[in-house]
Amino acid sequence: MPVKIGKLKSWLSKAGFVKRPGKGSHTVWKHPAYPGVEVTLSGKDGDDAQGYQIKQVRNAIKRTGEE
């Protein structure tokens, strides 16, 4: 079963990222303690996440040490 965009957002939220709205279905996630770490996700919560999106989220969480 593919990972959904909503699940990626949940992972980011639990790791301490905060979201700000982007254009359309895009959301930008930033970590307050790590200004250089930012993730932009596109898609609605129920959409299947693409492989690059999953990798991008995992890498961002690793960079913060919040695994």
- Predicted TM-score (pTM) of the model is 0.90
The 3-state DSSP class for residue 62 equals helix
Q: Express each pLDDT in 23-56 by its tens digit.
A: 888 999 999 999 888 999 999 999 999 999 999 9
Q: What is the pLDDT of residue 21?
A: 84
Instruction: Kindly list the distances between the CA atom of residue 32 and the CA atoms of 25, 41, 62, in Å, as whole numbers in the listed order.
Output: 22, 18, 15
Domains held by the chain: number: 1
CATH number where 60 lies? 3.30.920.30
User: What residues make up the domain containing 31?
Assistant: 5-64
What is each CA distance from 34 to 2, 9, 25, 39, 50, in whole angstroms?
Answer: 29, 18, 24, 12, 25
Contacts of 67 (CB under 8 A, 6+ apart): 15, 61
C-alpha to C-alpha distance for 25 and 8, rounded to whole angstroms: 14
